[in-house]
Structure 1
Amino acid sequence: MLDRPVESRPPSDRKPQLRAPAPVAAPIEPEGMTVTALLAALRRRRFVLVLCALLFPIAAYIAAKQLTPRYTASATLMFEPTDYAARELQSILRDETTTDAVLASQADIIRSLPVARRIVRQFDLTNREEFAWWVAEAKRPETLKYRWLDAIARRVATLSPSLADMIAPEAPVPRPADDKAETAAAEAVRDHMLVTVLRNSRVLTVQFTSEDPQLATDAANLASELYISDQLEAKFNAVRRANEWLDGRVAQLRKELQTTESRIAELRSQSGLVRGVSAGLATEQVSKINTDLIEARNLLATAEARLNAAKSGGGGADLTALGASNLTASRAARDDARRELERLQATLGPNHPDVRAARSRLAETERAVGGETGRVVQALDSEARAARARVVSLESALKTQEGRLNQSQGAEIQVAALERDAEAARSLLRAVLERSQQTVSQTAIEKPDARILSASTVPVIPSFPKVSLFVMAATILGVLFGLLVIWFLEQADSTIRSGEEVRAALGLPCLALVPMLKRGLLGRHKVEDYVVRKPLSPFSESMRTLRAALWLGTEPPRVVVITAARPGEGKTTTSVALARSAAMNGERVLLIDCDVRQPALGRVFRCEGAPGVTDLLLGQALLERIIRRDHLSSLDYIPAGAAEIHSLGLFMSEAMAGLLDRVRRDYDLIILDAPPALAMADARVVARLADATLLCVRWRDTPRSVVRNSLGLLEEAHARVVGAALTQVDAKVHGRSGYADAEVYHPRYGGYFRE
């Protein structure tokens, strides 16, 4: 490969110019637990989820089988209240609209303490351990724990009575009194009984839960029967009280009616009233007197009018109306004499004899008129006094008759009021007697407000524990717990698991995923030889991918340093495999072992102890003497040489820079296998001299903080870190991880590889 020895090349007169470090992108923080990331995490850790989803239901099933089974029996009732329409019995028997509150009250009645006490007495539940705690308390001295503690306490009592008191078990609590025991058992029965109302209906469901299925059935049926019998008995009692009240009311009404009728008879006898006769006659008499009185008053008014007319000296017409013809003739003669006098005075004068004679005649006629008028007035006055006397007589008679009529009418009014009261009492008595007959017949046809729709049957399947429900809930809980564990593992896992995480955590591109070569796949081959032995394998393809990534950069590097954060990352294997792959590709490749403290190329190429780069830098060897050829490929390599504790000074010397400058002209690619960058300063110095630095990171092993720390040291040394390579990747595990770069391990690409 080398056309001329190192000594024949002109020595470099200047120190090679160091390349500026490549800018490293800032780390990209992950976006969080997206749906895709969650599905990928579930796919990677599905065994944890499956394990939790299996262990929890299995544990729940075992625990459920250890529990004492309980059985629930159910009976259904229909609540149908009977209507009572009697107005007189509203205070005793009242119709209530069936509401939710009414149905809830019926449910409380079924679960009432009296019903529970009768169930306790019926089935002797005071002697059942399920409902009577004192039964278990009485059995406690027979348990092994009690006897064991009691025996220990007796032995310790001889040494320390106080310690024996602390060890000795508590004495059993004695059985309570019968009444208290029955009450406590009844409370337990109420706790085991559940009464519910079917939504939007009048159906009541009575449920009873017990360890004995037969007892649960009998108790549910008995509670339903007791509820119905209590309802019927309550109705009978109500009807009986109603009958008693009605009988008392009948007696009271009869007594009141008798008293009223006696009072009516007494009033009639005192007033002399005859039903329908006396009052009518008195009324007729008063009416006749009123008619006569009106007529008499009319006559009196006429007489007084005539008298007043006569006294006032009315005309002839008035006198005619009064029936005085003489007075009329006298007045006519007076009028003639007055006209004659007026005529004569107008023609003859007042002193003429004819005038004086006419005046004498007028005076005589006036005296005749006055006399006749007095006679008429006297006759009219007599007539008016007679009419007035008749009016007074009739008024007196009317007052007398009205007094009698008023007295008779008062008695009649009282009698009528008493008769109305008597009639009302009779009507009420008839209604009460009718209702009394109805309530008496009601006793014979009375029915309860509820009926049993279906009696409970003996349950076969226990209501508790619900094994299927327990297992289902435990499965859900196991899945949730598994998800929690997966989330915790994902959060606790600080390693790098994919190329995406390399980019997110380090800000570097992932140039290659180097698969792990398991022992069964290697067979008798070595890992370093696998790229030559299996050139079409995924491992060899990852090396070609890495070489292509280095070559496709903007400035293809000639000198590449391969380092890692810590030992065991696979940097030496990657260096050898990459160098051999490039050499097999026809490139001139030189591999230099710069890990002086722990050299590995001597072991790989079986040249331990051979002079190498340290000998060259110390001036103890020539370049053409230390360059060796790989026996499997056209690769040239330089071992580390003798161990030198001052290797840092050698790498910082001009000899190292001159070495790299000399080999650049003869090789297409120079790979430097450097020590771990986190612990050794040699790696940082060598990385500063190279064109590019490749950081090897072990898949799912190296913590991100360690890798970041080592990357920071390389950046401080102004090394040009071009990317990272994930090493020892488990192809099967990574292929199931769900990451995007795991696609290369899909079976669909199997035709491109040959193992």
Structure 2
Amino acid sequence: MTAPRETASPMFERPVESRPPQENRPALRTAAPIAAPIEPEGSGLAAALTAIRRRRWVLLACALVFPCLAILAASLMTPRYTATATVLVEAAEGPDGSRAGLPQDEATTEALVASQAEVVRSLSVARRIVRQLDLTHSPEFAWWLGGTARPGWGAALARPLAAPLAAIAPGLASWLGVAAPAPRPPEERAELAAAEAVRDRLQASPVPRSRVLALGFTAEDPRLAMEGANLAAELYVGDQRELKFAALRQASEWLDGRANQLRQELARTEARIAELRAALGGRGAPAPTADQLGRATAELAEARAALGQVEARLAALRGGEPAAPPPPALAQQRAQRDQAQQELDRLAEALGAGHPDLRAARSRLQELDRAVGAETSRAAEALETEARALRARIRGLEDLLRPPERAGQGPAAEIRLAALEREAEASRSLLRAVTERAQKTLSEVAIERPDARLLSPAALPGAPSSPRTPLLALGAAALGIGCGLLLIWLLETTDGTLHSGEDVRAGLGLPCLALVPMLRRHLLGRQLVEDYVVRKPLSPFAESMRTLRAALWLGAEPPRVVVVTAARPAEGKTTTAVALARSAAMNGERVLLVDCDVRQPSLGRVFRCEGAPGVTDLLLGQAVLERIIRRDHLSSLDYIPAGAAEIHSLGLFMSEAMVGMLDRIRRDYDLVVLDAPPVLAMADARVVARLADATLICIRWRDTPRSVVSRSLDLLEEAHARIIGATLTQVDARAHGRSGSADAELHHPRYSGYFRE
């Protein structure tokens, strides 16, 4: 029933109402706030996996593009080779087998080895490598020979363009980092610049939990890399040996100088003693007794015999006679020298002339030769000193046995003689101590080893060390996966479209009545989408229409007049309205489809009745209802086209004629479907929705923003329309089936037996 009309009031002032009074108040939706993001089904890990599965192509593209770019960049880079030699840092063993100089604490040992690594990478070592390998003439280490202001990974690409680009466009060459070859700097600066480049390529890293240093050198030429690593190890070991030998030589030289000084002082003291004794004998010293003369005679004989032996040993030592027994220290050094000579001969037969071990053996033999010569000189000087002392003793004994010429001698001279003799004895003791220490130092020089030795020389590298294409590709793949995940997160965060029925309920507060699948071209062929529900009644598309009709019928108050609308054009509302009406008609219901989209009518195109009279003609009073109702040629559906285009359609839909038409068709049909225009496009949709029993809004799957749909729902609610739910249209069954949503279960292959395409 309709409300009574006030004859005195204009038409636009009366309240337009078509629904029964109990349906005047619409059921408001409980929509989520506009700013609330749409979360996928589940939470935490499940939601993340669902998002990744839905956008897996983004992740796959990033995981493939990044490694491809990395491989391309690696192919453009100049390959470099790294050769590695290992050196053991250790202390030398003394004659007693004990280790000296190396701390036993592990932390201190690691600190010592780390400091030795910095010694290897010192600028002095780098400069000697540059000099010996002549790297100031290598473009790899001499940037002035390359064509770039500074070396870099793009130098190989820039060098061919350096000269022509710098001549044509110097500004562009400077901006690109490409310059013509620079003039050669002075020799000192050139060597320093090359040494800095060498130090950047020289690696020295301690091996964990050991005293081993790994010395690596990187170069574009593999042989140069091997030579650089071996030379760095050789220089380091040689420096360690030279430092230790220099310290020992310095101590030996100081001891030799001190011994010479003591010998000179002893010689002067003995000469003064002899002069004093001679002076005492000439002044009439007391005549010796018979016992004193006997002892003096015996001592004289022993002194002469000892002098003969010393002179014989001295002559044999100077002449190099092997029959003469040398001093123990000299004999030991000669034996070590012979062993070193044998070792050198053995290495010379087994190794090449430039091998580090052969050079080390040759250096050790030279050191032993110098030690033997120095020890021989010391032994000769000691014998000469002993011979001088014996001669002075013999002269004193001879003077004692010679008959005295004078008698009488003062006690002061005897006291001075005793003091000189004590001073001479102290000098002899000190000289012996210094001589023994000098001999021990020479022995240490002969047997001392450096604090480092070469474990294994560097071999010729067979494969480049950089770029490491597999590792670079693997890292790029990991980076691509990370960027892909980040991109997926950004897409999910910024994506305001609706992907499932859960999104519709969570984001809009409306039930999702059906998911209308998208019909692909190979399924449609030449037929229209609206005809598919009739042509394929057992298809998933037809089943979605039946699901929608069931949802309308199963409500507490099944509506008879249903408005099908959308927020904006191209949402599939007309297709849904036609397919829903035809599906209901095929079920045996009396169904009427009315085209209320006057500005862009679609039923004339679907049913091939363009230009036929319709709703506007009826509302204008130019046609009667029975003459404008037409029958569908594929089903028992009745439909009314839009009719003539009318710019004042809003006034027509708000008229009494529209209310009367709806009241009449409500009595004659089980279901009336009104195809209304988009809500945001025209106000006609809100008026028609206000007059109908229920409003169904169509939302394009993964296309229409939620904010747009929310705005259209707000407008419908302001018009007091009864919004019973929404339907997602043009759903990609394959993509939605892989999304992980709960309503995607229908697209699982296990349900394929229920449908026929």
TM-score, structure 2 length as denominator? Answer: 0.70
Q: By how many angstroms is 1:593 displaced?
A: 1.9
Change (3 A) 1:648 1:180: closer
The one of 448, 455, 458 equivalent to 2:457 is 455
The one of 738, 742, 747 equivalent to 2:744 is 742
Q: By how many angstroms is 1:252 displaced?
A: 5.8
Match of 1:642, SS state, is coil
Q: By how many angstroms is 1:260 displaced?
A: 11
Amino acid at match of 1:120: V
Amino acid at match of 1:203: V
Q: How does 1:479-628 map to 2 (within 5 A)?
A: 479-628=481-630
The one of 199, 208, 219 equivalent to 1:190 is 199
Deviations for 1:510-531, whole angstroms, at most 9, x for unmatched residues?
1111111222101233221211
Contact 1:84/1:95 (8 A) holds in 2: no
Over the aligned positions, Cα root-mean-square deviation in angstroms equals: 3.8
Deviations for 1:261-288, whole angstroms, at most 9, x for unmatched residues?
999999xx9xx9xxxxxxxxxxxxxxxx
Match of 1:442 in 2: 444
Partners of 1:704 and 1:148 in 2: how far apart? 56
Match of 1:644 in 2: 646
Partners of 1:689 and 1:429 in 2: how far apart? 132
The one of 178, 181, 184 equivalent to 1:175 is 184
Partners of 2:576 and 2:168 in 1: how far apart? 74
Partners of 1:635 and 1:698 in 2: how far apart? 26
Partners of 1:126 and 1:530 in 2: how far apart? 82
Amino acid at match of 1:38: A
Match of 2:101 in 1: 95
Match of 1:491, SS state, is helix
Partners of 1:643 and 1:532 in 2: how far apart? 29
Q: Does 1:210 align with 2:219?
A: yes
Match of 2:144 in 1: 134
Amino acid at match of 1:218: E
Match of 2:677, SS state, is coil
Change (3 A) 1:176 1:653: closer
Amino acid at match of 2:490: F
Deviations for 1:387-408, whole angstroms, at most 9, x for unmatched residues?
xxxxxxxxxxxxxxxxxxxxxx
Amino acid at match of 1:146: A
Amino acid at match of 1:636: D
Q: By how many angstroms is 1:13 displaced?
A: 6.8
Contact 1:12/1:658 (8 A) holds in 2: no
Change (3 A) 1:429 1:234: same
Deviations for 1:147-203, whole angstroms, at most 9, x for unmatched residues?
4654789xxxxxxxx99x99xx98754323333322332232222111111122111
Deviations for 1:523-553, whole angstroms, at most 9, x for unmatched residues?
2332212111111100011001111111222
Q: By how many angstroms is 1:467 displaced?
A: 0.8
Match of 1:452, SS state, is strand
Amino acid at match of 2:674: L
Deviates more, 1:645-654 or 1:213-222: 645-654
Match of 2:55 in 1: 45
Q: Which has the larger radius of gyration?
A: 1
Partners of 2:146 and 2:672 in 1: how far apart? 88
Partners of 1:661 and 1:37 in 2: how far apart? 49
Match of 2:310 in 1: none
Match of 2:370 in 1: none
Q: By how many angstroms is 1:625 displaced?
A: 2.9
Q: By how many angstroms is 1:662 displaced?
A: 2.3
Deviates more, 1:689-698 or 1:36-45: 36-45
Sequence identity percentage: 66
Partners of 2:37 and 2:701 in 1: how far apart? 18
Partners of 1:610 and 1:47 in 2: how far apart? 49
Q: By how many angstroms is 1:212 displaced?
A: 0.9
Match of 1:99, SS state, is helix
Contact 1:83/1:95 (8 A) holds in 2: no
Q: By how many angstroms is 1:81 displaced?
A: 0.9
Q: By how many angstroms is 1:430 displaced?
A: 4.6
The one of 10, 20, 29 equivalent to 1:24 is 29
Amino acid at match of 1:621: A
Q: By how many angstroms is 1:487 displaced?
A: 2.8
Deviates more, 1:188-197 or 1:98-107: 98-107
Amino acid at match of 2:55: R
Contact 2:696/2:723 (8 A) holds in 1: yes
Structure 2: where are the runs of 5+ without partners?
Answer: 6-16, 150-154, 281-285, 287-414
Partners of 1:603 and 1:151 in 2: how far apart? 67
Amino acid at match of 1:64: A
Q: How does 1:268-307 map to 2 (within 5 A)?
A: none
Q: Does 1:146 align with 2:156?
A: no
Deviations for 1:582-602, whole angstroms, at most 9, x for unmatched residues?
122222222222222222223
Q: Does 1:72 align with 2:82?
A: yes
Change (3 A) 1:657 1:423: farther
Partners of 2:139 and 2:128 in 1: how far apart? 18
Q: By how many angstroms is 1:20 displaced?
A: 1.6
Structure 1: where are the runs of 5+ without partners?
Answer: 1-9, 87-92, 154-161, 273-411
Q: By how many angstroms is 1:136 displaced?
A: 2.5
Match of 2:364 in 1: none
The one of 225, 232, 237 equivalent to 1:228 is 237
Match of 2:65 in 1: 55
Deviations for 1:643-702, whole angstroms, at most 9, x for unmatched residues?
333222222122222222222223221111111111211111111111110001122222
Change (3 A) 1:117 1:718: same
Q: How does 1:340-359 map to 2 (within 5 A)?
A: none
Match of 1:700 in 2: 702
Partners of 2:644 and 2:430 in 1: how far apart? 136
Amino acid at match of 2:61: L
Change (3 A) 1:105 1:564: closer
Q: By how many angstroms is 1:752 displaced?
A: 0.8
The one of 106, 127, 131 equivalent to 1:121 is 131
Partners of 2:722 and 2:164 in 1: how far apart? 81
Amino acid at match of 2:608: R
Partners of 1:229 and 1:243 in 2: how far apart? 21
Q: By how many angstroms is 1:443 displaced?
A: 2.7
Change (3 A) 1:142 1:666: closer
Contact 1:77/1:450 (8 A) holds in 2: yes
Match of 1:22, SS state, is coil
Match of 1:665, SS state, is helix
Contact 2:226/2:459 (8 A) holds in 1: yes
The count of corresponding residues between Structure 1 and Structure 2 is 583
Change (3 A) 1:467 1:719: same
Change (3 A) 1:105 1:602: closer
Change (3 A) 1:264 1:751: farther
Partners of 1:605 and 1:172 in 2: how far apart? 80
Deviates more, 1:572-581 or 1:171-180: 171-180
Partners of 1:152 and 1:58 in 2: how far apart? 33
Amino acid at match of 1:201: S
Match of 2:303 in 1: none
Q: By how many angstroms is 1:753 displaced?
A: 0.5
Change (3 A) 1:520 1:96: closer
Q: By how many angstroms is 1:211 displaced?
A: 0.9
Partners of 2:60 and 2:572 in 1: how far apart? 33
Partners of 1:107 and 1:536 in 2: how far apart? 80
Contact 1:21/1:721 (8 A) holds in 2: yes
Amino acid at match of 2:101: D
Amino acid at match of 2:27: A
The one of 728, 731, 754 equivalent to 1:752 is 754
